[in-house]
Amino acid sequence: MQARVAEAPIEELEADALVLAFSEEASRPESPQTGPTPWEALDEACGGLITRTLASRAFTGKANRCVAVPTDGHDTGKARFTDLVLVGLGPAGDIDLETWRRSIASATRTSRARGAHSLVIGAGTASAVANLEELAAAATEAARLTTYRYTAYKPIKDATELEAITVATVGDASSDPASLASLTEAVDQARIIADATCWARELINTPPNDKRPPQLANAAAKMAAECGLECEILDEPAIEALGMNALLAVGRGSSVEPRLVVLQHRGRNADGQPTALVGKGITFDTGGISLKPPAKMDEMKADMSGAAAVLATMRAVAQLDLPTTVVGVVPMAENMPSADAYRPGDIIRALNGKTIEVLNTDAEGRLVLADALAYTVERFQPRAMVDLATLTGACVVALGETVAGLMSDHDHLATDLLAASHRTGDTIWRLPLFDVYQDLIDSKVADIKNTGGRYAGALTAGKFLQNFVGDTPWAHLDIAGPAYLDKGSGYRTRGGTGFGVRLLVDWLKSSS
């Protein structure tokens, strides 16, 4: 999908559909706009169709509700739109950037269902909730993310693909070159970030027989070569030589080797201390010897969603050429039961020397992350380190399937991530790392055990990871809920969502 900024006034553009978003208030004839509306010229160019549709009963302004009407016979002037699509933003006082994204998602879906290949999206019709750059970027993201479909094994017949969107400002067509340039930059960056998010979705949706660790590592290498990232792939002997026995143990039951992928982006302002991202890459999680029940086990192909988010973030970081140095470290393994699989009762020594008593082979994510986190700290001494993992079902119980858990021992880092979450709509909520949770994972026979019992499952998992990060400012995101959705919602399509990519890129941009 192409995304651009209109260079001509909106009333002179051409597209299959013109998308305009309005609040509930704007739809009420009893509260008419005082003075000229910003869309007056556009309305005139459409023969008054906008005002008439706004005033009609069909349009309520309720959030995400669309009314689509053909413009035939109404296009006077230079405007050439096949359809007019009005979408509601809800009550004016409640509108924020996420409301706007979701409304654009709804209008995009409606337009595509009507066969539209091209959209013009008007920004600036509702009370200012954000600046035009933010609105343009959010609209681009929402449209791109909404049009994603997984078609690798079943192409859609006669699919209407959205090929191009044009973001145009409504009214006050101050077409000064500076604002055009900054709008264009915002839209270009949003497209890069949304494309990366869709690439993460593609990796997550790929069936587990096609993304076993060596294949997933190759996909990372191919992306790295295309984007100009440095890439190292460590195979089993290399992992063993380093002493990453926890990663090795988890991968042991599989007939294919584990991998450790290390990606680096050297920013212009490289100061030696990089920011590090670490992602859980279990390409399929059967639970191992502590086998999972069959129901929904297929969804465990998404147990590499943390890895996908980190790889896709690295892709965006490279394409945006961010000035900071960023490293991505991704442990990949397939958690299978077999004659050679690791067992409950095994004690393994992680890279940092700590011994781990394995009580449940289904608590494998924290094991591969333990080694990856310790490796990242030792090799890179990052100024900050964030890991993403579909780590616990307990986190889904606590926060539901749209919100990720944030655990951090560093308030400043946590605050920055929460701010990025607020801006992007990748919602996270902070959970505690109190010392009482360490008591639950103290082992009698080793330094630590890999499960903490029934209570506080997300927190004992987070606490476990904390044992492998040393003094590094660190945050852990448990994305088990939002990484994968049975049913799509708004701009999040069903299956892999790419949760975390927009959050991380926003955070990296704002801290660079």
Kindly list the catalytic residues: 292, 366
Q: Could you say whether residue 303 binds Zn ion (CB under 5 A)?
A: yes
Q: 271-330: which residues touch ligand BES (CB under 6 A)?
A: 285, 303
451 binds, among Mn ion, Zn ion, ligand BES, none (CB under 5 to 8 A by kind): ligand BES
Q: 457-476: which residues touch ligand BES (CB under 6 A)?
A: 457
Phi, psi of 125 (to 5 degrees): -85, -20
Nearest-approach distance from CB 494 to Zn ion, in angstroms: 21
Nearest-approach distance from CB 388 to ligand BES, in angstroms: 12
Q: Is 400 left (phi over 0), alpha (psi -120 to 50) or beta?
A: left
N residues, the chain: 512
Any idea which residue has 């900071």 for tokens? 324
CA pair distance 294, 383, nearest whole angstrom: 42
For 42, the token pair is 């556009």
Window 279-298: contact mask with Mn ion (x via CB under 5 A): ------x-------------
In sequence order, the 6+-apart residues with CB closer than 8 A to the CB of 392 are: 457, 458, 461, 478, 480
CA atoms within 13 A on the CB side of 191: 16
For 447, the token pair is 């330094």
Nearest-approach distance from CB 365 to Zn ion, in angstroms: 4
Options 328, 365, 405, 498; binder of ligand BES; rule CB under 6 A: 365
CA pair distance 58, 66, nearest whole angstrom: 9
Q: Could you say whether residue 357 binds ligand BES (CB under 6 A)?
A: no
Stretch that binds Zn ion, among 19-27, 147-155, 278-286, 477-485 (CB under 5 A): 278-286
Q: 313-372: which residues touch Mn ion (CB under 5 A)?
A: 362, 364
Q: Could you say whether residue 336 binds ligand BES (CB under 6 A)?
A: no
Options 365, 382, 405, 462; binder of Zn ion; rule CB under 5 A: 365
Our CB check for ligand BES shows the closer of 156 and 397 to be: 397
Nearest-approach distance from CB 341 to Mn ion, in angstroms: 13
Nearest-approach distance from CB 291 to Mn ion, in angstroms: 10
Cα Rg of the chain, angstroms:
25
Q: What is the 3-state secondary structure (H, E, C) of 281-325?
A: EEEEECCCCCCCCCCCHHHHHHHHHHHHHHHHHHHHHHHHCCCCC
Nearest-approach distance from CB 418 to ligand BES, in angstroms: 23
CA angle 94/100/104 to nearest 5° reads 145
Longest dimension (CA), the chain: 81
Options 261, 384, 394, 440; binder of ligand BES; rule CB under 6 A: 394
392 binds, among ligand BES, Zn ion, Mn ion, none (CB under 5 to 8 A by kind): ligand BES
Residue ranges binding ligand BES (CB under 6 A): 285, 303, 360, 362-365, 390-394, 396, 451, 457, 480
Interacting residues toward Mn ion by CB under 5 A? 285, 362, 364
